[in-house]
């Protein structure tokens, strides 16, 4: 674990949690719980491990981790992994162009999941990341994912960074 990478990532996660949890007349943003309920366990340059406990709002009718909740978690946490260090590109986190999740095994309400994220390449236009979700108690793989992001820095103008 590299302390500077953990600190940089935690700072970004706090900013995103504040941003995502703000509400307006239409309510909270789509992923308002993701950053506040994810804990940074470890981080290094281009990788991060998060801990996440499955709650009722993450489950399907059978009280199992819902595939859509998994995809949302992967989307948000692989993006967070981009902020393990300062970068020339992706100052505004970008947007998803491709997100593929392979669901390997189920996880029940109340289970704790480790989300291991890795940044493979960051260029001026695209970033490529992957994630592996594991049951913390057993180490069983729950899902694997790949996530490609498009850089929107030039479209964001000179506004404040997220």
**Which of helix, strand or coil describes residue 55?**
coil
Arch. (CATH architecture) of 3-155: Roll (3.10)
Segment 120-154, tens digit of pLDDT: 998 888 899 999 999 999 999 999 999 999 988 77
Three-state DSSP state, 116: strand
pTM of the complete model: 0.79
Cα separation, 111 vs 136, in Å, equals 8
Q: Which helix (H) or strand (E) holds 133?
A: strand 126-135
Q: Structural domain boundaries of the chain?
A: 3-155
pLDDT tens, 88-123?
666 667 788 999 999 999 999 999 999 999 999 988
């Amino acid at each position: 674990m590299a302390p500077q990478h953990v600190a940089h990532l935690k700072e970004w996660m706090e900013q995103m949690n504040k941003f995502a949890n703000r509400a307006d007349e239409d309510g909270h943003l789509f992923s308002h719980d993701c950053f506040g309920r994810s804990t940074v366990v470890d981080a290094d340059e281009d990788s991060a491990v998060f801990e996440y406990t499955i709650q009722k709002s993450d489950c399907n009718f059978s009280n199992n981790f819902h595939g859509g909740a998994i995809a949302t978690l992967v989307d948000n946490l692989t993006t967070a992994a981009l902020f393990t260090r300062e970068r020339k590109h992706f100052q505004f986190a970008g947007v998803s162009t491709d997100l593929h999740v392979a669901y390997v095994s189920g996880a029940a309400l109340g289970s704790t999941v480790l989300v291991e994220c890795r940044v493979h390449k960051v260029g001026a236009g695209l970033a490529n990341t992957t994630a592996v979700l594991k049951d913390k108690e057993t180490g069983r793989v729950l899902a694997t994912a790949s996530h490609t992001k498009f850089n929107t820095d030039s479209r964001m103008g000179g506004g404040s960074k997220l």
